[in-house]
Amino acid sequence: MIFQRSGWVAGGLVLALAGCSGGASEQPRVVTASAPQVQIRDLFVLGAEPPAELAPGSEAAVYGTLVARMGGPGDRLVAVTSPDFVAVSFIQGGTIALPAGKSVSLNTGGGSKVVLKGLRNAAPGGTSTTLRLRFERAGEMTERVRIVARQGRYRTFSNAPAGTSPPA
């Protein structure tokens, strides 16, 4: 199986893992990472409601907060990919601007600005996947992130919208 229950990889980045693993009442771990130009906070992929799992072919929403460092020119998220998904992700608006020093949430309030397309294998909550985030100036950051079951405080997050298509 592609997904692993452990083995958090930072690829040279500093990781701070928050929360605990275990029962449904505990908070799952999500990733917070930093590079010289960009900080990523609370990054995760939203899974299915238990006991279901994301089925092959599914779309999955990515949530978290991105911050371009103060004093710099800002940055722009231009792509998000995962080897566990067939297609390049959909980014609402094509790219996401990151003004210097400002927090930019991937949550629109009605869903995520980033949707992964075409899951290769079934993925239950609690497993993980590798995300590659490509920024215009900062380059690429690769993070191993948790697929969080849509339960507890994560029940309020929206699933990936059906039929999301990339911009023309």
CATH number of the domain bearing residue 121: 2.60.40.1890
Range of the domain at 151: 14-156
Q: Establish if 125 belongs to a structural domain.
A: yes
pLDDT per residue over 59-91, tens digit each? 999 999 999 987 888 999 999 999 999 987 899
150: left (phi over 0), alpha (psi -120 to 50) or beta: beta
pLDDT tens by residue, 39-66: 999 999 999 999 999 999 999 999 999 9
26 alpha carbon, distance to own chain's centre: 20
Distance CA 112, CA 101 (A): 21
Count the domains in the chain. Answer: 1
Q: Is 152 within a domain?
A: yes
Residue 24 domain flag: yes
97-122 pLDDT per residue, tens: 999 999 999 999 889 999 999 999 99
| Residue 6 placed within a domain | no
| The pLDDT of residue 167 is above 50 | no
